[in-house]
Structure 1
Amino acid sequence: MFQRSLALFARRAALIFAALGIFAFSPVRADEFSPAQKAEIESIVKSYLVNNPEILRDAAAELDAREKLAATKARQQIVGDPASPLFDVANQAVIGNPGGAITLVEFFDYNCGYCKRALGDLARLMKDNPDLRVVLRDLPILSPGSVEAAKIANSATNQFKGAKFWEFHQKLLGSHGPVGKAEAITVAKDLGADVDKLNKGAETPEVSAAIDQSMELAKDLSINGTPSYVIGDEVVVGAVGYNDLQAKIANVRKCGKVVCS
């Protein structure tokens, strides 16, 4: 236990020092040191940190900056690749213009109050931008009911396409109160869905895989709330409103990016 703790301590210290360019350690193992050497290492590191406590703050800031940079690069790689799973619409609902030149991806939860408020913004965006393709990705993070509703909705994509699914989506997301399996089935049934097929489809590996894919993409994109959007080369978190999204769409149309130079 002591050797493991010392090795971990030495490694962390080495990372801190290396990050700030103070020392350059080679990889070491605790059992390569004699007891006297171990004691000396502990004394040196402790003395240095006690006398220079700000190094911990600086190192933490440096590591935080590096993590943010890595996350930004990962997001750019995902959103900038047309072949990215983000744009894979198998078992995902596509509304608006399915062949549109501009794609907006929305991550949402059927029990998300902010998603409900943003529903009108999405309707207006599609009306004002006939070249807009919208990919709806379930991100059921708020409750077990959200997961059940997402499974039924995902299954419904096999029976409802385009405008028909949009009608289903509006009715379910626009409903009052908590939403779960029963509410999703009721809406789908009212629109003419085959309930047996709907239930069977909701339990298929394909539906589970589609939802899991969206959850994993959200994690990779550092999305932890709904609604969130991907437009052009940018991830937009939160219900930012029609004007903000419309400006980004206009820029993507103009220069291929959300911010034109």
Structure 2
Amino acid sequence: MMLRFAAPIVAAALALPATAMDLTELTNAERAQFRAEVRAYLMENPEVIMEAVDALRAKEANAQAQADVDLVSVNADAIFDDGYSWVGGNPDGDITLVEFLDYRCGYCKKAHDEVAKLLETDGNIRLIVKEFPILGDQSVLASRFAVAVKQVAGGDSYKAMNDALMAFRGDVTLASLRRMASTFGLDMDAIEAVMDSDAVTQEIAETRALAQRLQITGTPTFVMKDELLRGYLPYEQMQALLDEKRG
């Protein structure tokens, strides 16, 4: 990598014939001279290496950002209007924030409070939650429970369970879920009856397929307007990004 970035700089200073600047055409003596000049230059100017690395990273980040914009555009209907994901916040908000989450994810739990604060202070955000259990059987069980609650008891009960599951710190078991449902006065028998249903399975499977198309491999992952935000973001950074999208 050092030769890749430093060679154009060093080559300009080398006293080699113009026809020999194709490295494949250098003689052994010219190649040795070139290598010695590159090494000497880098030893005298080591900051060039970091400058080149930073430039490469910036180029790759820009390419990834554009690729993400394209992925969001191609999958917009499934992201913003799938017909089954819970929609909260302000349904008529001027910007939509989509979150892929796992109830066993520590950063999802941390982000949950940040998103709640964002919705409370902003008031003009449409929030979509997508169940994306990737951290084992307890994650899957929690998501099946949450989706079943939504299908059986509706959106308000789903929101209550979403909050409760994010605040929960113990093992996710049927017993713990029954206690949770009882606390909120939900009919756990009815919920359990659909937790393993095809409808619940399909919803989670479709979200998994969407995540795969978006190249999402971790949680939390957000979609804000046309941008994929991979990983936890603090409140201040999310608000700044919202302001930027609106601007």
Tell whether the structures are fold-level matches, with TM greater than 0.5: yes
State the partner residue of 1:115: 108
State the partner residue of 1:134: 127
- Tell me if structure 2 keeps the 8 A contact 1:95–1:165: no
Q: Counterpart amino acid of 2:204? A: I
How far residue 204 of structure 1 moved from its aligned partner, in angstroms, is: 2.0
**Alignment partners' CA distance in 1, 2:136 and 2:184:** 25
TM-score between the two structures when normalised by the length of structure 1: 0.64
- Tell me if structure 1 keeps the 8 A contact 2:147–2:158: no
State how 1:7-26 maps to structure 2 within 5 Å: none
User: Tell me, what secondary structure is at the counterpart of 2:193?
Assistant: helix
Q: Which runs of 5+ in 2 are unaligned?
A: 1-58
- Tell me if structure 1 keeps the 8 A contact 2:149–2:157: no
Aligned pair partner of 1:196 in 189, 195, 213: 189
Bigger proportion of residues as helix: 2
State how 1:19-98 maps to structure 2 within 5 Å: 73=67, 75-80=68-73, 84-98=77-91
How far residue 72 of structure 1 moved from its aligned partner, in angstroms, is: 5.2
- Tell me if structure 2 keeps the 8 A contact 1:172–1:183: no
Structure 1 residues 160 and 122, CA gap change in structure 2 (3 angstroms): farther
2:152 matches 1:152:
no
Aligned pair partner of 1:166 in 159, 164, 167: 159
Aligned pair partner of 1:227 in 195, 220, 227: 220
- Tell me if structure 2 keeps the 8 A contact 1:104–1:231: yes
Q: Counterpart amino acid of 1:150? A: S
The Cα offsets for residues 97-124 of structure 1, whole Å up to 9 and x where unpaired, read as 2232211111111111111111210110
Higher relative contact order (CA 8 A, sep 6+): 2
**Alignment partners' CA distance in 1, 2:147 and 2:183:** 17
- Tell me if structure 2 keeps the 8 A contact 1:151–1:207: yes
**Alignment partners' CA distance in 2, 1:229 and 1:188:** 28
Structure 1 residues 159 and 97, CA gap change in structure 2 (3 angstroms): farther
The Cα offsets for residues 60-89 of structure 1, whole Å up to 9 and x where unpaired, read as xxxxx99x969954x434423685211234
**Alignment partners' CA distance in 1, 2:81 and 2:205:** 13
User: Tell me, what secondary structure is at the counterpart of 2:104?
Assistant: coil
User: Tell me, what secondary structure is at the counterpart of 2:151?
Assistant: coil
**Alignment partners' CA distance in 1, 2:170 and 2:240:** 32
User: Tell me, what secondary structure is at the counterpart of 1:156?
Assistant: helix
**Alignment partners' CA distance in 1, 2:105 and 2:63:** 30
State the partner residue of 2:99: 106
**Aligned-residue CA RMSD in angstroms?**
2.5
How far residue 252 of structure 1 moved from its aligned partner, in angstroms, is: 2.3
**Alignment partners' CA distance in 1, 2:189 and 2:223:** 34
State the partner residue of 1:125: 118
- Tell me if structure 1 keeps the 8 A contact 2:134–2:140: yes
User: Tell me, what secondary structure is at the counterpart of 1:217?
Assistant: helix
- Tell me if structure 1 keeps the 8 A contact 2:98–2:224: yes
Structure 1 residues 82 and 130, CA gap change in structure 2 (3 angstroms): farther
Q: Which runs of 5+ in 1 are unaligned?
A: 1-64, 255-261
How far residue 147 of structure 1 moved from its aligned partner, in angstroms, is: 0.5
Aligned pair partner of 1:218 in 211, 218, 235: 211
Q: Counterpart amino acid of 1:177? A: G
Structure 1 residues 204 and 217, CA gap change in structure 2 (3 angstroms): same
Q: Counterpart amino acid of 1:201? A: V
